[in-house]
Every structure is written in C-alpha cells, then in structure tokens.
Amino acid sequence: MPLVALIAATAPGLAGAVPGARAAPTQPGETFTLAWGGDVTPGSAYGLPPANGRDMLAGVSTVLAGADIAAVNLEGTLGLGGVAKCAPRASANCFSFQAPAANAVALGEAGVDIVNVANNHANDYGAIGQALTARALRRNGIAFTGRPGQITTLRLPRATVAFVGFAPYRWASPLRDLGAVRRLVRAAAAQANVVVAFMHAGAEGADKTHTPNHDEVAFGERRGNARAFAHAAVRAGADLVLGSGPHVLRGMEVYRGRLIAYSLGNLAGFHNFGLGGRTAISGVLRVRVGPVGSFAAGTLESLHLLGPGLPAPDPSGAAGRLVSAVSVQDFGRRGVRVAPDGSLAVAALPPPA
C-alpha cells in the first residue's frame, strides 16, 4: 500500500501513544487521494460473515486499495470481551455490535488504512471492548482515531495527514463543544500539512437524507448540528470533513475551498444494518487533495447493498443522483453535483490555489 508510516497517535491516556512530529511542507503541485467509505460493521451477534469477513468489502476493494489513504467508520468492536450495553430485554432500538478480533484482517486486506471510532457503537462493550478493538486494529496495521483528544498522523511521500474524530459521546472527542473542536483541529494542523476531521452526527433513517442547520435528535440522544460542526472545523483548519451517522447518503458542499461530505451511509455489514429504501444506496468517495489541503477533484462511485448488506457497483448511478439533488437543495451554489460518470463539480468552486 502507498501509505508510508504512522507517525503518531496522540491523546491523553492513550495506550501506546508516541510524541507527534511537525510535518515538512509539501511542494507546489503535489496532491494525494483519499477514499472514504462510510459505515462498516465487520459482524456481530446479529450476523457473522464467513471467512472473518474477507468478502465483505470485495466489491469496493479496488477503489479503497487504489487510494493513497482509505478510511471507513468502524461501527462496533473487535475482540470478545466486555459487557454489552444492551441488556437481554433491552429496547428494540438498542444494538450491541462485537465481532471477533480476526475480522480486522478483512479491513486491511480490502485496503483500509484508518478507521474512525468516534461513534455510538465504539463503546458497545465498554472500556474492555475499546481496548480489544485498539489491539486488533494495531495488530493488523490499521490506524484509528476518535478517542477524546486523539490526533492520529499518517505520512505519505507527498503529505503528512492528521486525522481527528468527533461524536456526541463521552468516549469520543466532543462534537457539540465547538470550542473543543477548534482547539483539537488547530493542534492537528500544527502537526500536519492536511487535517481530516471525521464526524458522527445526525438523526438516523431512510428519510434523513437532508442536512438541517440545527441540532438533531435520535433515540433520545442529542446528536449535534452537523453544519455548525463542519464549518467550525474548516474555519479552524480542517481540510476535509467526512461524516457518518444517519445511515443514508447526505449532501456534500465545498466550504471555503474545503470539501464536506455529511454522510456516506452504510458501506458494509452482515445482517447488521436495515436495508430498506435509501439505506441500501451507498457509495465510496474518492477525493484528490491539493498541496495546501484544498479540494482539487473527486468522484463518487455509486453502490447498492445486496444480500446481507454487501456493496456492489450500481450502474444506475442512484447514489450520485441522490447526492446531487440533496446537495443543491441544502447548500445551493456550494452544493456538489455528481456527473453521470461519478465526477464531482460545484458551481462556487474557486480557481486552484
């Protein structure tokens, strides 16, 4: 894989953390590519894939492995241990996801370099589950970010990229505290040429494709104002903001020359996600990032989740049409259009720096 090295994973109290390093500046004209693929659950008590999930991401492995860095949102834990958050007679809306540690192998083999663990399922099995997940990921060479205060920095030949992850939960960097968001993003920008901010925000469901400009609530949880978070992160120095949480595709906008993708929906599960209507429409975003972090170009590969919830190319381009429609409706001239070939365009995109 083209990824050179993990420089640092820094956070207060994060086991195995090492000191960070300031990145050398990139040279004019240099770019790199990043692929973002949304929600992945490598298995749980609701369904465990055969062969440790090695076929779950087969339909998108080419685009993931072909990017300089590939990232997904990891829903659930890896490794058998801890106490499930859902009691045996818990609400029908309570789900605890835990897969064997060996299922982490499938992520690496598909080309995933880093996962976001700032989400509602990262603590499904408590602190023990989180520790087992971190160990399984490290053993398979997969970086992660999203713990409170955590900055994970990856180095490429042409750039050093810092990743931070935010969610409205105590086990993640706080999404709803915009002052804390700004401080962590600025700290990340001091360590790297490019900053990528993951956000897990918004209400869930097939009817939640629009991105409102107010706090959203799901299952009694206040899940933040995704627009306010994303704009604050960009103003503080984030170069890409990549979202998850609603389990459906949402719109994209270019804000101050930086791309914000509010949700990529579900990428892969195994009888773990609801797949009715728009929840089965998926995609992989591939972004080319300019030398100072600006949006240079991108594509959205339209996918459809089949069978137990596995991604396959969708020649109809449904994902692109959906993203185009809601992007223009929600963000006007800043909204991203997806052409029939999957390429991204925006009316308000400034000329290259």
How far is residue 323's CA from residue 190's CA, in Å, rounded to a whole number? 33
* 268 and 64 Cβ atoms separated by less than 8 Å: no
How far is residue 246's CA from residue 73's CA, in Å, rounded to a whole number? 12
Cα distances (angstroms) measured from residue 92 to each of 67, 83, 149, 270? 38, 18, 33, 19
Please say if the pLDDT value at position 16 is more than 50: no
Q: What per-residue confidence (pLDDT) applies to 6?
A: 60
Tens of pLDDT, residue by residue over 332-346, are 999 999 999 999 998
Please say if the pLDDT value at position 153 is more than 50: yes
The pLDDT-based confidence of 28 (bands split at 50, 70, 90) is very low
Q: What per-residue confidence (pLDDT) applies to 256?
A: 95
Tens of pLDDT, residue by residue over 257-303, are 999 999 999 999 999 888 878 999 999 999 999 988 899 999 999 99
- CA 243 to mean position of chain CA atoms: 6
How far is residue 28's CA from residue 135's CA, in Å, rounded to a whole number? 38
Q: Which domains does the chain have, with CATH numbers?
A: 10-346 (3.60.21.10)
Q: Residue 15: phi, psi to the nearest 5?
A: -60, 135
- The residue behind tokens 């835990």 is 98
Which has the higher per-residue pLDDT, 31 or 26? 31
pTM: 0.92
Q: What per-residue confidence (pLDDT) applies to 15?
A: 39
Tens of pLDDT, residue by residue over 72-127, are 999 999 999 999 998 765 667 788 999 999 999 999 999 999 999 999 999 999 99
Burial of 315 (0-12, 13-18, 19+ CB in 10 A): exposed
Tens of pLDDT, residue by residue over 198-251, are 999 999 989 999 999 999 998 888 999 999 999 999 999 999 999 999 999 999
